[in-house]
Structure 1
Amino acid sequence: MVAVRQTMIPRFNYSYSLRDTWDCITGQLFNKKPNASYLNDLFPGADIYFVDSARVGIKYALLAFDLKPGAQIGIQPYTCSSVLAAIAAANCKPVFIDINEQLSLDYDDLQRKLPGLDALIVTHTFGIPAHITQIKQLSGQLPVIEDCAHAFHSRYEGVHVGNFFDAAVFSFGNGKFPSVGSGGLLVINRKKSSERVGAVLGKLKSSGLIRELTFAGRRFINALIHTRVGESMLYYLLNENFLSSKSQQLSGYPTHERQPYRSVGYAMQRQFTELKSMSIKQRENARYLIDGHNRHYKMLANVDDTGNSFAVVLLSQRRNELYSFLRKKGVGAGKHFQHAKSWAMQFGYQQGECPNFEQIVGEVLTIPCHYGLIQSDLRKIDQHLTDFAQTNKSML
Structure 2
Amino acid sequence: MEFMPLTRPFIGEEEEREVIDTLRSGWLATGPKTERFEREFAAYLGRKHALGTNSCTAALHLGLLALGIGAGDEVITTPMTFVATANSIVYTGARPVFVDVEPDTLNIDPRRIADAITERTKAILLVHLYGHPCEMDEIMDIATRFGLKVIGDCAHAIEAEYKGRKVGSLGHVDCFSFYTSKNLTTGNGGMLVTDDIEVATLAQCLRDHGMSPGAWARYRTGEFRHYEMTRLGFKCIMWDVQAALGLQQLRRLEKRHHRRLEIARWYEALLQPLNAHLEILRPRSYVKHSYHIYAIKIKGVDRDRVAHIMEEKGIGVGVHYRPVHLEPFYRQTYGHCHGEFPVAEDAAAGLLSLPFWPEMTEEDVHRVVETLKDAVLAS
Is the contact between residue 293 and residue 385 of structure 1 (CA under 8 Å) also seen in structure 2? no
- Aligned: 1:369 with 2:356: yes
- Report the Cα distance in structure 1 between the residues aligned to 2:239 and 2:333, rounded to whole angstroms: 30
| Equivalent in 150, 157, 181 of residue 175 of structure 1 | 181
| Equivalent in 309, 323, 326 of residue 307 of structure 2 | 323
- Report the Cα distance in structure 2 between the residues aligned to 1:347 and 1:143, rounded to whole angstroms: 25
CA-atom RMSD, angstroms? Answer: 2.6
Which one is further off, 340-349 or 163-172? 340-349
> 1:222-371 to 2 correspondence within 5 Å?
257-294=235-272, 295-296=275-276, 297-303=278-284, 304=286, 306-317=288-299, 318-338=302-322, 340=324, 341-342=326-327, 343-351=329-337, 352-371=339-358
- Report the Cα distance in structure 1 between the residues aligned to 2:150 and 2:164, rounded to whole angstroms: 20
Taking structure 1 as the reference length, what is the TM-score of the superposition?
0.78
- Report the Cα distance in structure 2 between the residues aligned to 1:21 and 1:39, rounded to whole angstroms: 20
Gaps of 5+ in 2: 217-232
Matched with 1:59 is 61
- Report the Cα distance in structure 2 between the residues aligned to 1:23 and 1:67, rounded to whole angstroms: 38
Gaps of 5+ in 1: 1-5, 209-254
- Report the Cα distance in structure 1 between the residues aligned to 2:10 and 2:210, rounded to whole angstroms: 28
- Report the Cα distance in structure 2 between the residues aligned to 1:22 and 1:316, rounded to whole angstroms: 43
Name the CA shift for 1:356/1:311 in 2 (closer, same or farther; >3 Å). Answer: same
Is the contact between residue 121 and residue 146 of structure 1 (CA under 8 Å) also seen in structure 2? yes
- Aligned: 1:28 with 2:39: no
Matched with 2:225 is none
| Equivalent in 35, 40, 43 of residue 41 of structure 1 | 43
Matched with 1:233 is none
How big is each residue's C-alpha offset from its partner over 1:143-183, in whole Å with a ceiling of 9 and x where there is no partner? 01010111111111222111111010100112111132110
- Report the Cα distance in structure 2 between the residues aligned to 1:138 and 1:359, rounded to whole angstroms: 27
Question: What SS does the aligned partner of 1:42 have?
Answer: helix
| Equivalent in 114, 119, 123 of residue 119 of structure 1 | 123
1:330 deviates by: 2.0
Match for 2:289: what amino acid? G
- Report the Cα distance in structure 2 between the residues aligned to 1:346 and 1:148, rounded to whole angstroms: 28
| Equivalent in 109, 119, 135 of residue 112 of structure 2 | 109
| Equivalent in 136, 144, 147 of residue 150 of structure 2 | 144
Question: What SS does the aligned partner of 1:95 have?
Answer: strand
Q: What's the % identity of the aligned pairs?
A: 19
Is the contact between residue 299 and residue 314 of structure 1 (CA under 8 Å) also seen in structure 2? yes
1:83 deviates by: 2.1
Which one is further off, 331-340 or 147-156? 331-340
1:257 deviates by: 2.1
- Report the Cα distance in structure 1 between the residues aligned to 2:330 and 2:345, rounded to whole angstroms: 11
Taking structure 2 as the reference length, what is the TM-score of the superposition?
0.82
Matched with 1:92 is 94
The number of aligned residues is 341
> 1:213-228 to 2 correspondence within 5 Å?
none
